[in-house]
Amino acid sequence: EVDVVNGAFFAIPTKSMEKVGLFDIHTFLFCEEKILGKKLKNNGFHSFELTNCFYEHKQSTTIKSNIKLIDRFNILNKSRYYYLTKYFNLSIPQKFVVRFCFAFGIFEKKIYFNLRSFFKK
């Protein structure tokens, strides 16, 4: 039994999805599985992972070719923030800390990419 299943390959009965309200429309690309897992668990459902089955997943091949890394990082942070604030009722100080950490992460990524391009010259 697991809290979250991988979104690349999962099966769920339609009636179960309908009961929990389908996918949350406020996220894009990231955190959909976490939100679905939380909603299922909150409604008394159980999620399981089959450990004897395997599949090959070309991780984010289309996304990587169409959305810049920094933009993906921003989308990820927006989805994470939404997930944390909606499904865990964060206090105002906790929201501040989360926003600060996300902003610092973006700042760090920008510095990394600027240094990387500087040293490639």
Q: What is the pLDDT of residue 91?
A: 92
DSSP string, 20-70: HTSS-TT--SSSHHHHHHHHHHHTT--B---TT------TTHHHHHHS-HH
- Tokens standing for 92? 């105002």
Chain centroid offset of residue 78 CA: 9
Question: For 10-22, how does the pLDDT look when each residue is reduced to its tens digit (9 = 90+)?
Answer: 788 899 989 998 8
The model's confidence at residue 83, banded by pLDDT at 50, 70 and 90, is: very high
The model's confidence at residue 23, banded by pLDDT at 50, 70 and 90, is: confident
Distance CA 119, CA 121 (A): 5
Percent of the chain, pLDDT > 90? 21
What's the number of CA atoms in the CB half-sphere (13 Å) around residue 107? 6
Q: What is the mean pLDDT of the chain?
A: 84
C-alpha dist (Å) from residue 12 to 21, 45, 70, 98? 13, 11, 32, 32
Q: What is the pLDDT of residue 121?
A: 61
Does residue 90 sit in helix, strand or coil? coil
Question: For 84-108, how does the pLDDT look when each residue is reduced to its tens digit (9 = 90+)?
Answer: 999 888 999 999 999 999 888 888 8
Q: What is the pLDDT of residue 93?
A: 95
Looking at the predicted structure, is the pLDDT value of residue 60 above 70? no
pTM of the entire structure? 0.72
